[in-house]
Structure 1
Amino acid sequence: MNEEVLFYYALFAGGIVCIVLSVLLYFWLREDNGIEFSLFFRLVLLCLFGVGLIWYTAPSLKYVVYHDYATTKGVCTVEYDDQSKPRTIDLYYDKTGDYFSFLDRAELGAYGPDVPYTCHVTTTKDHAFEISYRLYDFKTNRLLYSSE
């Protein structure tokens, strides 16, 4: 399993944990005469944060669990920002305008908009989460890097 799939599962599990934790803390910390408003407000925010994480990840759950992925192929440019944290690699498809970002670094000879590559990006069917990518030489179609 690669980093992107683990990140997806971490988001989904984080949402479940936030919801369960907020409900348990509410019943554990409340007294017979009530709960302070500030604590109640924080627990509601924690619960809403968990609901937001699940709302964001749930539509793609069946695609990730059943490995039902789509592959986008075409000419792209690769950009790598050495200063960003975490270090990411960005793939831009010029003709379609698609953009994909991965928590990885491909060791390529050159980056930037002047150097085209042939890219195969695997995503969930709804294109919400990136799974993996492969970079090929534009002229020879030789595999240069694979994140799989």
Structure 2
Amino acid sequence: MNEEVIFYYALLAGGIVCVVLSVLLYFWFREDTGIEFSLFFRLVLLCLFGVGLIWYTAPSLKYVVSHDYATIKGMCTVEYDDQSSPRTIDLYYDETGDSFSFLDRADLGAYGPDVPYTCHVTTTKDHEFEISYRIYDVKTDRLLYSAE
């Protein structure tokens, strides 16, 4: 399992934990001494944050669990941000305008909009979550890097 799939499951699990924890804490604090407004407000925010994470990840759940992915192929440019934490690599498709970001670093030697590559990006069918990518040389179609 790669980092992107683990990140997806972490978002989903984090949402479930936030919702369950906020409900349990609400009932636990309510029975003891009553609940103050500020604590109630924080618990509502925690619950809404959890619901937001679940709302964001749930539509792609069937694709991730069943490994029903789509592969996007085409000319792309690769940009690498050395200053960001965690280090990410961004793939931009010139023809479609799609962009994908991965928690990885490909040692290609040259980056930027002036250096085209052929990229194969595997995503969920709804294009919400990136799974893996492969970068090929434009001229020779030789595999330069694979994050699978």
Instruction: Pick the TM interval, shorter chain.
Output: over 0.9
1:3 equivalent to 2:7? Answer no
Residue aligning to 1:86 = 86
Give the Cα–Cα distance (whole angstroms) in 1 for the partners of residues 97 and 61 of structure 2: 25
How many angstroms does 1:29 deviate by? 1.1
Q: Which structure 2 residue ranges, 5 or more long, are not aligned? A: none
Counterpart secondary structure, 2:121? strand
- Once the two structures are aligned, what percentage of the paired residues are identical? 89
Q: CA deviation at 1:31?
A: 3.5
For 1:97, the equivalent position in structure 2 comes to 97
Which deviations, in whole Å up to 9, do the C-alpha atoms of 1:66-103 show, x marking residues without a partner? 00000000000000010111110000000100000000
CA distance in 1, matches of 2:45, 2:129: 25
Give per-residue Cα distances to partners, 1:117-140, cap 9 Å, x unaligned.
000000000000000000000000
The alignment's C-alpha RMSD in Å is 0.9
Specify the code of the residue in structure 1 equivalent to 2:29.
L
Q: Tell me the TM-score normalized by structure 1.
A: 0.98
Q: Residue 17 of structure 1 aligns with which residue?
A: 17
User: In the comparison of the two structures, how many residue pairs are matched?
Assistant: 148
TM-score with structure 2 setting the length: 0.98
Is 1:134 the counterpart of 2:123? The answer is: no
Residue 33 of structure 1: how far off its partner (Å) = 6.3
Measured after TM superposition, the shift of residue 47 of structure 1 is 0.3
Q: Identify which range, 23-32 or 106-115, moves more after superposition.
A: 23-32
CA shift at 1:104, angstroms?
0.2
Cα distance in 1, alignment partners of residues 46 and 112 from structure 2: 41
Which residue of structure 2 aligns with residue 112 of structure 1?
A: 112
Whole-Å separation in 1 of the counterparts to 2:84 and 2:108 = 18
Matches within 5 A, 1:59-74: 59-74=59-74
